[in-house]
Amino acid sequence: MSLGSGLQRAQSFMILATGLYRASHLAAGVVAVTQHQRDRPLAWAALGAALAGSVAVFASARTRGWFGTGPAAADVIVVGGALPFVAGAGDVTTAEVAWVMMLGGSSSAVAAVAFARWTVVAGVVAGLCLVHAVGYRLTGAEFGVVAGNLNSIVSSAVLAAVFWWYLRRQGSLLDEATAKALAAEARQARLAERIAHHRALHDTVLATLTAIASGRADPGAEPVRDRCAREAAYLRRLVRQQADGEPASDTATTLERAVRSAESLGLRVSAQYHAVPELPAPAASALADAMTEALNNVLRHSGTSHAYVTVTGRPEGEGGRPLVVTVVDRGVGFDPEAEAEMKGFGLRCSVHARMREAGGAAEVDSAPGEGTRVELRWPA
């Protein structure tokens, strides 16, 4: 499961921290009611309301990823404002309502992080202080007890606000650093890709043009024309990739080497790449080897010197990091069953078996006079 952005992590931590703070107050309430007020229905009602209100506000925050102003306001009104009067109704002592008053601290903490405007937070904290002061005075509490409770309400709000400010700031700094690192990585990848293309162009197209210009190669000779055709196909793929604006992944580079290898043997390949995802190195290597064997079969058996390769990502929702590679020729084709003994070994061992071992799958479709289509999928 993804951890999300820095801000999302900060929000998750604050939900957890304020939830644990509330849980400590509720635990004190459960102990107080079960041991000392088990015969008071109002105490049980107050405890039930506190539990229900807490579940509502924190479950909502967990689901949404942050506190909603509505649930937070309801928590302040019910748990922080109404319960002190409910629990204090009747002939009760200060000690018997102490657990309810403790909830005011966690209510003010929720308000401090849920409400964006500090004026609203200040008003809520002031209201909670007033309610708790009145509630404690109804029980005849001493000044020191009331002052301690009010200090807890104010300090809880201040600490929660400070923690939330700090975590939010650190989360934003983390997001900025992550964005800069990703941008730098993308620039480095583009530079590496550009260097690789420059080397390939130097070793192929530029070398061929230099040989023709210097008179060392006859442009009319068939081998030279074939080489020019292969390198023109490579240039078209390169131009198309640049036009798409998608940097080549390591997987695309690995598959392109398989295409270039087949072209070096005299096969003309028309290849297209679209949204090629990054695969684990073993999977990319298995795909490239299986594709090489499929192209070698075109060269050896199809009766044609032209193959068509398409590499594309599978539609969203069909598995993680999916890739489909198709190799098609318009040659003589074959009957897979009738010629299994003659051609099946290469397909079984170099295509099907290799893809199965890497967690992928291969499918061969052919018929006499209809050409051959090989589809490689990862994952299966």
Which domains does the chain possess?
Answer: 6-177 (no CATH), 251-380 (3.30.565.10)
Q: Where are the beta strands (DSSP E) in the chain?
A: 268-274, 306-312, 323-329, 361-366, 372-378
Question: What does the pLDDT read at residue 88?
Answer: 61
Q: Residue 246 above 60 pLDDT? A: no
- Rounded to an integer, what distance in angstroms lies between the CA atom of residue 331 and that of residue 238? 27
Q: How confident is the model at residue 343 (pLDDT cuts 50, 70, 90)?
A: very low
Cα(191)–Cα(295) distance, integer angstroms: 30
Q: Return the pLDDT at 55.
A: 93
Mean pLDDT computed over every residue of the chain: 83
Q: What angle do CA 307, 356, 289 make, to 5 degrees?
A: 40
- In the numeric block, the tokens 């893809």 are attached to 355
pLDDT digits (tens, 9 = 90+) for 94-142: 887 888 889 989 999 999 999 989 999 999 999 999 988 888 877 888 8
The tokens for 360 are: 């992928």
As a whole number of angstroms, the distance between CA 289 and CA 362 comes to 12
Which residue bears the tokens 């499929």?
A: 294
What percent of the chain has pLDDT above 90? 30
Quote the pLDDT of residue 296: 86
Tens digits of per-residue pLDDT, 157-182? Answer: 999 999 999 998 998 888 888 888 88
Query: What is the reported pLDDT for 317?
Result: 47
Phi-psi region of 65 (alpha: psi -120 to 50; beta: other; left: phi over 0): left
Instruction: Name 20's Cβ contacts closer than 8 Å, sequence gap at least 6.
Output: none
Q: For 271-322, what is each residue's pLDDT tens digit?
A: 888 888 888 888 888 898 898 889 988 888 888 989 999 998 865 544 555 8
pLDDT attached to residue 345:
46
CB burial of 44-75 (b: ≥16 within 10 Å; e: otherwise) equals eebbebbeebbeebbebbeeeebbeeebbbeb
Q: Which residues contact 12 (CB under 8 A, 6 or more apart)?
A: 4, 65
pLDDT attached to residue 342: 47
Global model pTM greater than 0.75: no
Closest CA to 364 of 342, 379, 348: 348
Sheet with 372-378, strands from edge to edge, namely 268-274, 306-312, 323-329, 372-378, 361-366
Please compute the mean of the pLDDT values over residues 195-200 and round it to a whole number.
70
